[in-house]
A and B are shown apart, each in its own frame.
Chain A
Amino acid sequence: MPVLRAALRRLTIFVGTVLVASLVIFLIIQALPGDVAQVTLGVGASPDDVDALRQKWGLDRPLIIRYFEWLGGMLHGDFGASYLKGQPVVSQITPRLAVTLWIVGLSIPLSLLVAIPMGLFSAMMRRRWSGALINALSHVGLAMPVFFLGVLLTMVFAVHLGWFPANRYVPITKSVSQWASRMVLPVMTLVLVQGCFLARYVRAGFIDVLGEDYYRTARASGWTKWRGLVRHGMRNMATSLVTVVGLQISSLLVGAVLIEEVFVLPGLGSLLIDAVGSRDLVVVQGVVMLLVFAVLLINFLVDLAYLWIDPRLRRGAA
């Protein structure tokens, strides 16, 4: 089974990189200047008190032991407890992660839904003014900062038209309709920006297909321009798009912090920024590890997706 072997090889690489990444993150966090015990107790605290606190938190033990404790804990879903609040990190992360995952999870498929027709149209019509217009539009979208678009949409839809509320987040568990009305603008913002970004790759991919011999074969077989391009272009275009979408998801997991700031949503990114601000390093470490893990996991899934999309890779040669 060459497919299985190729998949296993990628799995090994994935696990290896996760381990290396966890070590690097741990070391970087340890190397951050500023002693957390000192910061917690304030500048005026006596050295004895600081030492006592360090001992209490186990900060006086060797690095390597602390690393393995942290790693082992995470395997059981235990990310440690916040220095400041004493709460387990997991209980802080979980509700925040849900918010971010909703935003990312909704906006990625929706932006593909925008990008694929947009790219298909502007590729096929690239010599006409209509295609050029769509292309120009995607250029503007590409240059648009999400936080600016977010502010613009809020001004129009929340302030001026009053269609959607602009105030605090409501969890989906409390009220589905209230939650939904608060998700519309943030998700719409991301979909517009990401959609324009992805549309450029979709367009380039389809333009490549238009010049391919197999597209000419499909046309000679009796496919019309558009249907032939969809039928024989989609999979081939997707090979170049999968990587971009993967990168897009990873950058959005953190990048969503901008949208969370604009719309005052309690997501993972804002947790990270708050934790950095208050030097709550256990939280920082946990969130960063989670994000990096997610990024590597996405990379791994992208690799697997290639095995499915491109039959040439299944031989396990790659």
Chain B
Amino acid sequence: MKKLTLVIGLIGSGLVVLAALVSLVWTPFDPSKVSGIRYGSLTWPHILGTDALGMDTASRLMVGAQTTLLVGILAVAIAALIGVPLGVFVGMGHKTLGEILARGSDILYALPALLLAILLASALGSSVTTASIAIGIATIPVFQRMARASTLTVMSQDYILAAQVSGTPTSVIALRHVLPNIAPLLGVQAAASFSMAILAEAGLAYLGLSAPKTVPTWGRMLRDANFLTQPMQAVIPGIAIVIAVMGFNLLGDGVRDYLDPRLQEVR
């Protein structure tokens, strides 16, 4: 059961990464080239059909994986790079900073990523960057809270006290003892946040708030499809999103179970 989670997760996320990597060097057709066949059905050579303009769906799907992964990576990087240091500082005992941050992150935590994205897009124009920043900022509190909680756990250990008593500087304790100990948990959180970022990006793309029209994205492919005449053109990118989100989500769950075998036995 637990192994199954990990295997499905690996397959799902692996497929997306593979599609993105292959699309860098090869796609069946030029994803932005208009072929003669509009509204093509799912037959050779356009195995996943063509869209209203006659562009090859399979190729666009593969290129779309790039945007999906790029936004996911950027958003998680932003969230982790800001959230983790803040969380560790607060967890190591910056009292006033902690109180201010707690309030700030409460508000941020409650603010929907979509609202941020709409505001950012209206200020800077919609692009992959604004989508990533908006999702990233909205995810900061998740990492901050997680890092704070696990830092507090580490800081209550005796070996930290030993290090403090022996005069080890705080920065050294943070880098040598705290970070390595909370890293596995943060990794699992990153996988979960990654899948949530993919889902959020798909939503933004659907609203036209992510990559510009010229870049294929799964969300926009779904939106542009005419599901009355060509249902498969909406279903295919939709399934791609589900596979990606579920893949990374299960990957995180699977790794967590693997890292924490106690969870398997007790319950």
Residues of A at under 8 Å CB distance from B? Answer: 13, 17, 21, 28, 31-33, 126, 132, 139-140, 142-148, 151-152, 154-155, 159, 207, 210-211, 246-247, 250-251, 253-255, 257-258, 261, 269, 272-273, 276-277, 279, 284, 288, 291-292, 295-296, 298-299
Interface-central residue, B1, B112, B195, B222, by most chain A CB under 10 Å = B112
> Which one of B146-154, B159-167, B177-185, B200-208 is at the A interface?
B200-208
The reply to whether B199 and A139 form a contact with Cβ atoms under 8 Å apart is no
In the bound complex, do residue B234 and residue A255 qualify as a contact, i.e. CB atoms below 8 Å apart? Answer: no
Within B104-136, which residues are at the interface with A (CB < 8 Å)?
106-107, 109-115, 118-119, 121-123
Task: Give the residue of A139, A142, A145 whose beta carbon is less than 8 angstroms from that of B203.
Answer: A145
Closest-CB distance, A17 to chain B (whole angstroms): 6
Contact of B231 with A291 in the complex, beta carbons under 8 Å: no
Q: Chain A's nearest CB lies how many Å from the CB of B143?
A: 16
On whether A296 and B206 interact (CB within 8 A), knowing A32-B123, A140-B242, A140-B246, the answer reads no
Q: In the assembled complex, how far is the CB of residue B26 from the closest CB belonging to chain A, in whole angstroms? A: 28
Given A32-B122, A145-B202, A139:B250 Cβ within 8 A: yes
In contact, B110 and A148 (Cβ under 8 angstroms)? no
Task: Scan residues 1-47 of chain B and give those whose CB is less than 8 A from a CB of chain A.
Answer: 1
Nearest A residue (CB) for B248: A143
Q: Which residues of A contact B241 (CB under 8 A)?
A: 143, 145, 148
In the complex, which residues of chain A have a beta carbon less than 8 angstroms from the beta carbon of B227? 151, 154-155, 159
Q: Taking beta carbons and an 8 Å cutoff, which residues of B are in contact with A? A: 1, 103, 106-107, 109-115, 118-119, 121-123, 195, 199, 202-203, 206-207, 219, 222-223, 227-228, 231, 234-235, 238, 241-243, 245-246, 249-250, 266-267
Secondary structure of the A contact surface, majority rule: helix
Q: Are B242 and A291 in contact (CB under 8 A)?
A: no
Q: Among B110, B112, B118, B249, point to the contact of A276 (Cβ < 8 A).
A: B118
Let me know if A255 and B112 touch, CB within 8 A. Answer: yes
Top 7 nearest A-B pairs by Cβ distance? A148-B238, A143-B245, A143-B246, A276-B122, A254-B112, A251-B112, A254-B114
Contacts of B103 in A (CB 8 A): 13, 17
Q: Is the pair B207, A145 in contact by a Cβ cutoff of 8 Å?
A: no
Docked Cα-Cα span, A224 to B101, in Å, equals 45
Please tell me if the beta carbons of B115 and A254 are within 8 angstroms of each other in the complex: yes
- CB-defined contacts of B249 to chain A, threshold 8 Å: 139, 142-143
Q: In whole angstroms, what is the CA distance A144 to B106 when docked?
A: 27
| The residue from B222, B246, B250 contacting A148, defined by CB atoms under 8 A apart | B222
| A273-B207 contact given A155-B231, A288-B115, CB 8 Å threshold | yes
Nearest Cβ distance between residue B64 and chain A, in whole angstroms? 14
User: Which among B199, B202, B222 is the interface contact of A151 at CB below 8 angstroms?
Assistant: B222
Cα–Cα distance between A292 and B118 once the two chains are bound (Å) = 14
On chain B, the residues within 8 Å of A277 by CB distance are 122
Closest-CB distance, B219 to chain A (whole angstroms): 8
Do A288 and B119 touch across chains, with their CB atoms under 8 A apart?
Answer: yes
Choose among A28, A254, A279 the residue with the greatest number of B CB atoms under 10 Å from its CB: A254
- Give chain B residues whose Cβ lies under 8 Å from the Cβ of A254: 112, 114-115, 118
Nearest B residue to A252 by beta-carbon distance?
B112
> Would you give the shortest CB distance from A197 to chain B, in whole angstroms?
11
In the assembled complex, which residues on chain B have CB atoms less than 8 Å from the CB atom of A32?
122-123
Contacts A140-B242, A143-B242, A145-B238 given: A132-B1 contact, CB under 8 Å? yes
Known: A139-B246, A257-B114. A17 touches B107 (CB 8 A): yes
Cross-chain contact A247 with B238 (CB below 8 angstroms): no
Whether the Cβ atoms of A28 and B119 lie closer than 8 Å is yes
With a CB–CB cut-off of 8 A, which chain A residues contact B234?
A: 148, 151, 155
Residues of A within 8 A of B222 (CB): 147-148, 151
Q: How far is the CB of A208 from chain B (nearest CB, A)?
A: 9
Tell me the nearest residue of chain B to A298, going by C-beta.
B110
CA distance A140 to B246 in the complex (A): 7
Contacts of B235 in A (CB 8 A): 152
Q: How far is the CB of A114 from chain B (nearest CB, A)?
A: 19
Query: Could you tell me if B110 and A250 are in contact, using CB atoms closer than 8 angstroms?
Result: yes
Cβ B202 vs Cβ A207 within 8 A? no
Q: A253's contact among B112, B119, B219, B228, by CB below 8 Å, is which?
A: B112
Chain B residues whose CB sits within 8 angstroms of the CB of A292 once the complex forms: 111, 115
Complex alpha-carbon distance, A245 and B35, angstroms: 48
A284 touches B228 (CB 8 A): no
Which residues of chain A are near B206, meaning CB under 8 Å?
145, 147, 258, 261
